[in-house]
Structure 1
């Protein structure tokens, strides 16, 4: 009898490639798979439609209603009142105070019988816990980030982190299967809640996304130039790009930078203004968002990719985003900021990665000048290409996920 796995995420299908990869891997391993996701981003809806039509596993899309935000604000007010009164905030109220359709996800997940429910992001944890209780199933959690460590100095963040910790503390101890997207994220969860350390499943991509052939090391029109690339769903001012632009102005090498992502908050305009003030107005461009499935192909056009995490939060210090592994699969060397997580990874990448300090643009400029050497860039590109094919790809990494799921079922059969 085939076991059933239900994956629950508060994001759109097209915004979370990790859900797609895990669903494909589990389905390919013989599980019946259902993915319950939200459907609230109209821009992504056409891509969601395409993914759903092509997926061999079942998709349930939960629309976000206008009342979701109203209900969330009401529960947040109630939670704040209880906090002021010194009353312990119930898990249900903490969960429903999130600005995501937690209640709708709980209702839909409970309607889908499964043997294992896997939550992506904290907002999905209440849904998988309730569904697992109803159907006598196992609970799983995939930590793409250290969610209770995402807080910054922004107003309201401390209270939001308290609500997240309330949910995590109540549910994570019951998880039979747990994975993390970086070693330090797994360690942070284990230490905070007294858990066994989750297996690390890196944010890598299938070999099928890689270009068929490695492109020349210098993709620019002439040696001594570097084309740099950074992408994200939303352009932000807390991702180290200001330091990189300042380094561009100090480098002897002519460095250009393409920034891809949504400029909905106007942060891209601020970066363009900074570049113009430094005489780099013709060297920094904003590019529109693109589908996650296109990112490896798009990255392959560049000489270097940027993974510039900052110290803005604990999560940013210990995460490993998919940028690094997108560049490697494309055969593009990586410039990484010197955070604990990236510093831990760097030795395994050798010349394919360069660590830099965002506090020292002059030193970063020297790094760019050194990388612009034709021989060094060729060596770095060749190694990035090899690492992407031999080590950092989903064809290999999915085995960690499958082993963790199989082990959870095996423990249950043994009565552990």
Structure 2
């Protein structure tokens, strides 16, 4: 279960495919929010061999959230405890709509994604006497950006998590430090399942590097939406300081104007001709598209606790494509960089000059760049891919069913 579109959450699709391939009967219950993604979702649904239930965006969702939020604040001000149900409505999302859809799907295990999915799935699992699983793509109660409103929103999310997570048959998380954070906060066992991609998406070899004199160093970044909180400003500033010529392609929706502001910055620095904004592309094309570049960017700003401990899917997309990764120095990315070796360049977003120096070291040495690409490709093929990581998920699910079976026998 997920409150997003299928096309916006490859992790939900990978999970469903792994479980279906292992012989489980699978139904995706997802929302049908984005008109922009509707056609892509239609294509996905036409291809997958399992069932998909698409839930339309509920009318009056925002109004319900505002009323629930006010009521929850009144309850809190009175010194009373906000119930998980009220917290779910106050935190936003299509909780009621997802819950109604899930109730119509009998299951032995309901697997929730995101907080709205967890808030919807938990009461359904209890009502049906089924197991509950949760996959944490982020440390959701650590996503607050500060301020009274954000602190209150995080308290509502923590209320939902504290109610549901101890009853989960298993919990997975998209990064080791996210798993550690959930284990420490709620005293639960949590397993890391990295947000990697199928090996079949990988190219047969990393893109070649021409021997001899250095050429342009081609950098790439992608996401659903181009924002100003993604560390790209520091990289663009570094580009203006390099000795080698660095280009940057930025792929994603520019609906909020983030791309326009980044382009304006590049022009002000005199490098507007080296930065380009590209349109969004389907998730299953991301590895192929990344393989055209020399370096990929994963520039988490560390503005929230969740961002400090996450490992985004960009990293593993680049590795599978045979592209070394420029990563900002957050705790999670610092720990991973130690394992990636030559395939990673760890940088400080507060020091564009040092970023420029690192780019020059790669760009001025075709041999070093070729080594970095080969290292990335090997890591993607040998370790950081879904063929490896899905086994961790399947073991967690299998163990949950085994425990349930033993409990049923012992209770006879």
In structure 1, the residue matched to 2:237 is 246
In structure 1, the residue matched to 2:263 is 272
In structure 2, the residue matched to 1:406 is 398
**Residue aligned with 1:386, SS:** helix
1:68 matched to 2:67? The reply is no
Distance across 2 between alignment mates of 1:154 and 1:334 = 33
Q: Structure 2: which 5+ residue stretches go unaligned?
A: none
Q: Which runs of 4+ in 1 moved over 4 A?
A: none
Q: How does 1:17-416 map to 2 (within 5 A)?
A: 17-153=10-146, 156-196=149-189, 198-217=190-209, 223-372=214-363, 373-415=365-407
TM-score by length of 2: 0.96
Distance across 1 between alignment mates of 2:209 and 2:49 = 38
Residue pair 1:218, 1:377 contacting (<8 A) in 2 also? no
Shift of 1:218: 5.3
Shift of 1:99: 2.8
In structure 2, the residue matched to 1:3 is none
Instruction: Show CA shifts across 1:186-229 (max 9, x none).
Output: 00011111112x1111010001211244321359x972421100
Residue pair 1:110, 1:127 contacting (<8 A) in 2 also? no
**Residue aligned with 1:141, SS:** strand
Shift of 1:352: 0.6
Distance across 1 between alignment mates of 2:150 and 2:309 = 19
Distance across 1 between alignment mates of 2:395 and 2:333 = 25
Instruction: Show CA shifts across 1:5-58 (max 9, x none).
Output: xxx000000000000000000000000001100001000000000111111110
Residue pair 1:218, 1:303 contacting (<8 A) in 2 also? no
Distance across 2 between alignment mates of 1:10 and 1:187 = 25
Residue pair 2:113, 2:134 contacting (<8 A) in 1 also? yes
**Residue aligned with 2:297, SS:** strand
Shift of 1:149: 0.6
Residue pair 1:234, 1:261 contacting (<8 A) in 2 also? yes
**Residue aligned with 2:91, SS:** coil
Shift of 1:154: 5.8
TM-score by length of 1: 0.95
Residue pair 2:45, 2:52 contacting (<8 A) in 1 also? yes
Shift of 1:342: 0.5
